[in-house]
Amino acid sequence: MVATKGLVGLRPSPDRVAQVTSPPYDVIKPGSALEARLSGEADSLFHVILGETPEPALRRLVESGALIQDDEPAYYVYAQTWAGGARTGVFAAAEVTPYEAHQIIRHEKTFDNKVRGRIELRRRTNHTMGPVFVLTRAPLGRALENAKNASDPVYDFVSDFGGISELHGMRNQLWRVPEESVEGQAIKGALAQQPLYIADGHHRYHASLLHEQTHFLCYVTEEAVIQAYNRVINGTRPFAEIADQLELTPTDAFVTPDKHQFCIYTGEGSFMLEAREVPDDVVGRLDCAILERELYPLLGLRHEMIADLEHFDYYSESALDEMRAAVDRGDYDIAVALHPVSLEELTAVADAGLVNTDIVMPEKSTFFAPKILSGLFLYRHAKAG
């Protein structure tokens, strides 16, 4: 159902791929240790995706040989291996279609103003840097395994981000599969069987739509792990003033709770909070939606504040210690841990949205882990017309 083709553009020189590749731009927090480390790496794609002068930075990487031109259309099979897990998918260029066509299916709202920076970067560099993470129900696995068995990987390296990124220590292997090869045609045929569900990168796809691109850079897989997307919060009223309105149960540790529970960390310790009401509808029953209905109004918070760093910041499930530290420093009043959204919940919302486009998941609902490295391929996209 989705037309794809091989990628053309820039990719790292094999001997410098570990230095070029970077975590995606949206997980590099300003002022963080990760930002400081990447900014100190001369070959890092960081200087293009978040630097003040992306065109000269990209030109320097090409002129130095850190990035090489590759104009033969090819799919790239990507295997990630980490402590306790592994995942394989494929990088491809998929056709950009409107949401109403039901080929690329979203589950989150998108906002034009949030993609202006990404569109400007694409306009200035003529390349897409980071992929949209999409899921397929198509039987893709056999085609990817056959492609892996047909040749040696062009890259095989371990990411080194100094222990300050979830991608640190991950083994990355990438196989180049020419589109016209038997293996490439098998991948193309498998991908065409089903629509693609956006898992992560809704605004990257929205940027492709608004930029009027013919195709977008995507990473397609049948496999995904969703972590909880937790939050630290400053209300307009302190939590201590409203705590007596909640049925809180003290707990020994700040941990990931069960479904329809919330673990809250404050300066006074950790507490469990049970959802008061769990509706039947696919959006209303999500824990992030319940939290917004049952806790935020007591703290004087409104929906439009959720993207305001003065009131909210967001962390993956693996960063509970960082959240506690943010509260202990006084940066935020409380930290709240949620149970992860399931793949079944996500696809239920996405499928409901095919019938009613107003049905989408609340923002900051999911955190897909591990993330996909940026810089394994820089796609030279084309514009419609």
Instruction: State pLDDT tens for residues 24-60.
Output: 998 898 999 999 999 999 999 999 999 999 999 999 9
Structure tokens at 269: 């310790």
What pLDDT does 213 receive? 97
On whether the CB atoms of residues 104 and 94 are closer than 8 A, the answer is yes
Give the integer Cα–Cα distance in Å for 366 and 289: 12
Single out the residue of 296, 301, 312, 306 nearest to residue 363, CA to CA.
306
User: Is pLDDT above 80 for 1?
Assistant: no
Q: In CATH, which of 3.30.420, 3.30.1760, 3.30.1490, 3.40.1350 is domain 227-366?
A: 3.30.1760
Q: Please state the rounded mean pLDDT for residues 169-181.
A: 98
What pLDDT does 226 receive? 86
Single out the residue of 329, 317, 327 nearest to residue 364, CA to CA.
317
Q: How confident is the model over 342-360, as pLDDT tens digits?
A: 988 988 898 888 888 788 8
What is the band of 381 on the pLDDT scale with cuts at 50, 70, 90?
very high
Torsion of CA 178, 180, 181, 185, to 10 degrees: 100
What pLDDT does 43 receive? 97
Give the integer Cα–Cα distance in Å for 349 and 108: 9
Q: How many CB atoms lie within 10 A of CB 30?
A: 7
CATH 3.30.1760 residue ranges for the chain:
227-366
Q: Please state the rounded mean pLDDT for residues 223-232.
A: 89
Strands (E) across the chain are located at 4-5, 7-12, 67-82, 85-95, 104-105, 132-136, 155-158, 171-178, 196-200, 215-221, 225-233, 248-251, 261-266, 269-274, 312-316, 334-337, 366-369, 378-379
Phi, psi of 210 (to 5 degrees): -70, -30
User: Is pLDDT above 90 for 239?
Assistant: yes
User: Is pLDDT above 80 for 99?
Assistant: yes
Give the integer Cα–Cα distance in Å for 323 and 232: 7
On whether the CB atoms of residues 382 and 126 are closer than 8 A, the answer is no
Structure tokens at 368: 């897909």
What pLDDT does 55 receive? 97
Find residue 172's DSSP bridge partners.
80, 157
Q: Please state the rounded mean pLDDT for residues 158-162.
A: 97
Structure tokens at 150: 């047909």
Q: Please state the rounded mean pLDDT for residues 173-193.
A: 97
